Amino acid sequence: MSRPVRVLFVCLGNICRSPVAEGVFRQKVRDAGLDDFIEIDSAGTGAWHVGNPPDRRMTATAKHHGVDLLWQRARQFVDTDLADFDHILPMDKSNLHDILYLDEGNDFGQRVTLFRQWDPEPGTYDVPDPYYGGDAGFEEVYSIVDRTTDALLKGLAAHYDLEPD
């Protein structure tokens, strides 16, 4: 393969759901020995938290599960991300809508699919936004992200025929 597969997780603020998806997926990719083959980033459709670290409730939940999110900084999704990433994975349908709105030429729709389309136990297509809720919401996000990134990694490895060094 000529270059790494590029994966972008997207939510609204880039301080809760997409940072934990990025952090958990990075760890799984590293553990699988595939970090030379998969590049990972996250972004928010909104600009409110640009430059900030993830929400401390999300950071604490991830740390409890052995995943460090503290180094991450929020950035806003920009239209050039549509061309730059192979797989753009919005956390909910509203994020999906906001991303597709920026695809003015209707060129990149195939790259944009809901994150939970990979969830083996979907229930709903949305990762619930935990921002205005209690701690249980952050645990729920973590467990959705954990099982969904497992499936995502298996799916990408099979699709691109990726094998560790």
Residues found near ligand 4NP in the complex (CB under 6 A): 11-17, 44, 48, 129, 131
3 catalytic per annotation: no
Of the residues 3, 6, 11, 86, only one is catalytic, namely: 11
| Tokens standing for residue 38 | 């998969």
Q: What is the DSSP letter of 109?
A: G
| Contact (Cβ atoms closer than 8 angstroms) between residue 58 and residue 144 | no
Is 16 or 114 the residue whose CB approaches ligand 4NP more closely? Answer: 16
Mark whether 129 is an active-site residue. yes
Query: 16, 17, 111, 126: which is the annotated catalytic residue?
Result: 17
Q: Alpha-carbon distance 63 to 24, whole Å?
A: 11
Catalytic residue (one of 55, 81, 119, 129): 129
Q: Least separation, in Å, of the C-beta of 82 and ligand 4NP?
A: 19
Q: Known catalytic residue: 11?
A: yes
Q: How far apart are CA 5 and CA 85, in angstroms?
A: 8
Residues 111-121: b if buried by 16+ CB within 10 A, e if exposed: bbebbbebbee
Q: With respect to ligand 4NP, which residue has the nearer C-beta, 34 or 91?
A: 91
The minimum distance between CB 24 and ligand 4NP, in angstroms, equals 14
Query: Which residues make Cβ contacts (< 8 Å) with residue 77, sequence separation at least 6?
Result: 8, 10, 43, 44, 45, 98, 99, 102
- Minimum distance, C-beta of residue 65 to ligand 4NP, in the bound complex (Å): 17
Could you tell me the smallest distance in angstroms from the CB atom of residue 48 to ligand 4NP?
5
Q: Which residues are catalytic?
A: 11, 17, 129
